Structures are given as C-alpha cells and as structure tokens.
Amino acid sequence: MDSNSLAMVSRDLCNHVTSKPGKLYWLVLLLSISLAFIGICSIYYTIDSGIGVWGLNNSTAWGVAITSFVFWIGIAHAGTLISAILFLFRQRWRSAFNRAAEAMTLIAISIAAIFPIVHTGRPWFALYWLLPYNNDMGMWPNFKSPLEWDFFAIATYFVVSLLFWYLGMVPDLALLRKHVKGKLSKGFYTLFSLGWTGASRQWKHYRITYLLLAGMATPLVISVHSIVSFDFAVSIVPGWHSTIFPPYFVAGAIFSGCAMVVSLMVISRRVLGLQKYITPSHFEKLNKVLLTAGLMVAYSFIMDIYSAFFGSNSHETDLMISKISGEIAPLFWFMVFCTVLLPQLLWIRKIRMSMVPIFIISILINLGMWLERYMIVVFPQGESFPDINWTNYIPTFTEMSIVFGSIGFFMTLFLIVIRIVPIVSVFEHKSGMGRR
C-alpha cells in the first residue's frame, strides 16, 4: 500500500468533516432538533409543574422515564463492547464501527442521565443528593443504596468512555489538523490533537495506554449494567427480585446496543458514501455478535419464565401468568417476536449481509428491547403484592414526548459528532490495509 492509497483513504474518510454537508444532512438535523425541542418543552413543563403531570401513581412509581433510562444505558453498552472487548480479542473488523459506537455510548449515557434527574422532580438537587458529600445535618448519601451505586457506575462509565473515545481519536485529530482549511478549525484540531506527530515513542505510549484503558473498560461494561439491574434485583418486588437479572441485563444491553450500531451504520454508510470502507462483511460479523447476544437474551427470558413457575413464590407465578396471558400479553408476545424470533433470521448469511433486512431487524429489536424494559420496570409494580394495590399505569403525553424527544436528542448529537470527527477510525483502517 503506497502513499497515494493512504492519502486517498484519509480524503475519503475525512470527507464528511472537511466538506460542506448536503441538504439531506440539514433536513435530518432539522427534524432531529424539532423532535428534541418537543422533549425540551416537556422537560420544562415537568420541572415547572412537578412530576404530577406524569401518569405515575401510588403503586407505579417508576414509569416510562426509568424504562427509557435503562434502555439508553443499554444502548450505551455496545460502544465499549465493540471498542474494548473486540480490541482485546484483536478483531480488526471493529475499526469500521468502533468510532461511531463509542460516540453512541457517550451520547446515550448523557441522554440516559436526563431521565432519573428529571424524575427526582427537583433536578437542581439531584447531584447534591448523590455526590459523596455530607449535608447540613452531617448526613451522608446512603452508599448501601443501589441508586447511589448507579451514580458511581454511570459517572465512571461516562468518564472512562470519554477518555477511551478521545484517546482513540488523537491520531485522527492530527490528520484533520492537516486537512481542514479554516483558521478556527485548524486551531481546534491542533489543540485537541495534542501535538501528535506519529512518532515511534508516541505510538508506543499510545498503544500501552489504549490497551490499559481497554482492559479496564471491559469489566466496567459488565459492572455498569449489572449495577443498573441491582436497582430492581435487590428489592423484594415480585418480578424484580431475581438473581438472573445482572447477566440478563448485560446481555440485553449488548443486544440492543449492537442493534443500534447496525441501524446507525447502515444509514451513515449510505449517506456519507462509505460503502468502500464499511462493507457487508463487516456487518456480517457484527450481526453474528448481535445473534449471539440475542440467544443469551432468549435464554434469560426462558429462565425468567421457568423460575417464576418453578419457584415457590405464588406472587411471581401470578405475575408471569398475567404477563403472558393477561391484558399486557399482546405487548409481551410482540416483544418476544421482535427480540427472540426475528433475530433468528440472522442465522442466514445472505440476510446478515443485506442492508435493508438488517436495518429493519435492528429497528424492531430495539423496539422490542424498549418493551422488554417496560415489562421489567413498570409491569411488576402495578401487579405486585396484595390485589388491592393493583392499578393501571398509563403514560401521559408529557412522558411520552420526553421519550420521543430523547430520540431527537440522540440523533442531533450524533449528527453533530459526525461533522467533527471521522466516523471510521482512519489510522486503524490504514493499519489494517497496510499490514494485511
């Protein structure tokens, strides 16, 4: 591979940063901002009026907000999985997806944080309640509470993911320093590329640091969603109190996260003209990971049903019967269709490599995974212990508009990111081509 080929790879992969975006980009950005704006209005309305404007009631205290929190934290998982774990296993094909997946992680964590913060009703106190700092009465936050564990897990995950993402970008930021034209842009990339020259010693330090961060990020991925699952598993509510929850949540998170990467990359590849660099073969491998995670989720579903009937807790059994044959059953079976049956199509290689089918499958998987979180979070509260407590929870327009607004936030931030950094890791791609 000669200099001209390497220069061409740089030009192609940096093109969406260095050139002006087309009309389609502005149109999608406008739509995303509009959707996000609806979410912002609803957040403002909630804070101004109090969470009484949500559909929560005495028995159902956690609604679609917490469902969406768990969903977005799950989405955030694929980034570090694709980056760190596949890096440790020396999977070169990860270079097609890792940059976008890591950006997705950071955006998804930021969005996930909105939900519990707004849910507190008084968000300006949220950090004060969670930071390890004693109040005027000398009272500390309760470190034995899973909600406090959540704060530490998610804050750590955000910081580590941010550093991991940034570190992985430094050589490409130096490349952009050379390619961008404007004085301001040049200054920006010069500042953030930290004086990177591609010197041998820099590479050596870089590889060691990256390896260390990958090694530390890997147990972190497992721990974060395990800790999120503790929010439910350490309680005594039927449907929540389960030892299978940590691996169940981790598998679900990897499943939905990978599906989101597939959805995003199918679109990005087409819109940014990266067909030459993100090939069907890359998608085929990612879809194998998706299928494996799907099988783990399916196994978790089966075990969840099995333990409900096998165990001696009659509340668990009643709850499961209600879930699979009661009012909520259509949603349950639709969820099973999306997350268990549909992914089985990925056994077929031709489907794994075809863009339209995998895009549809990935979207439906995420719809199913959101419903799965809804089943886990909301449903057991409404039909828990004594029958007298049973109440229906119906999310209000305000709640749902925050949920849809979060999709707008996600798209807006992602569209901004692809204007700032190359969506495919340029130096890793060159390395893969050069050393093949």
Catalog residues that contact another protein under the rule CB under 8 A. Answer: 1-4, 6-7, 10, 132, 134, 138-140, 142-144, 146, 148-149, 152-153, 155-156, 159-160, 163, 167, 170-171, 174-175, 177-179, 190-191, 194-209, 212-213, 216-217, 219-220, 223, 227, 230, 427-428, 430-431, 434-435
CB-nearer residue toward another protein: 135 or 281 = 135
Q: Would you say 332 or 427 has its CB closer to another protein? A: 427
What minimum distance in Å lies between the beta carbon of 2 and another protein? Answer: 5
Choice between 97 and 206, CB closer to another protein: 206
Q: How far is the CB of 98 from another protein (least distance, A)?
A: 15
Residue 422, token pair as written in the block: 């190359």
Nearest distance in Å: CB 265, another protein: 22
* CB 190, min distance to another protein, A: 7
Tell me how far apart the alpha carbons of residues 215 and 209 are, in angstroms, rounded to a whole number.
10
CA–CA distance from 113 to each of 55, 136, 151, 308 (Å)?
20, 26, 9, 32
Nearer to another protein, 140 or 397 (CB): 140
* Burial class of 133 by CB neighbour count within 10 A (0 to 12, 13 to 18, 19+): exposed
Q: How far is the CB of 416 from another protein (least distance, A)?
A: 24
CB 92 → another protein: shortest distance, Å? 12
CA angle 134, 140, 142 (to 5 degrees): 150
The CA–CA distances, whole Å, from 314 to 243, 311, 318 equal 17, 8, 6
Which residue lies nearer to another protein by CB, 177 or 352?
177
Contact between residue 189 and residue 173 where contact means Cβ atoms under 8 Å apart? yes
> 3-state class of 159 per DSSP?
helix
* 245 burial level (CB within 10 Å; 0-12, 13-18, 19+): buried
Min dist. Cβ of residue 4 to another protein (A):
7
User: Nearest distance from residue 213's CB to another protein, in Å?
Assistant: 6
Can you read off the two tokens belonging to residue 11?
């030009």
> Given the complex with another protein, which of 402 and 426 has the nearer CB atom?
426
Place of tokens 């269709």: 337
The answer to whether 87 touches 95, Cβ cutoff 8 Å, is no
Count the neighbouring beta carbons within 10 Å of the beta carbon of residue 137. 5
CA of 133: how far to CAs of 127, 202, 232, 358, in Å? Answer: 10, 39, 25, 48
- Decide whether 88 or 348 has the Cβ nearer to another protein: 88
Nearer to another protein, 57 or 156 (CB): 156
Of the candidates 133, 80, 422, 49, the one whose C-alpha atom is nearest the C-alpha of residue 272 is 422
Furthest-apart CA pair in the chain: how many Å?
75
Q: Which two tokens stand for residue 164?
A: 């991991």
Nearest distance, CB of residue 158 and another protein, angstroms:
10
- When the beta carbons of 155 and 355 are compared against another protein, the nearer one is 155
The least distance separating another protein from the CB of residue 189, rounded to whole angstroms, comes to 11
The residues near 280 (Cβ < 8 Å, ≥ 6 apart) are 353, 354, 355
- C-alpha dihedral sign at 304, 55, 390, 232: positive
User: Considering beta carbons, is residue 196 or 414 the nearer one to another protein?
Assistant: 196
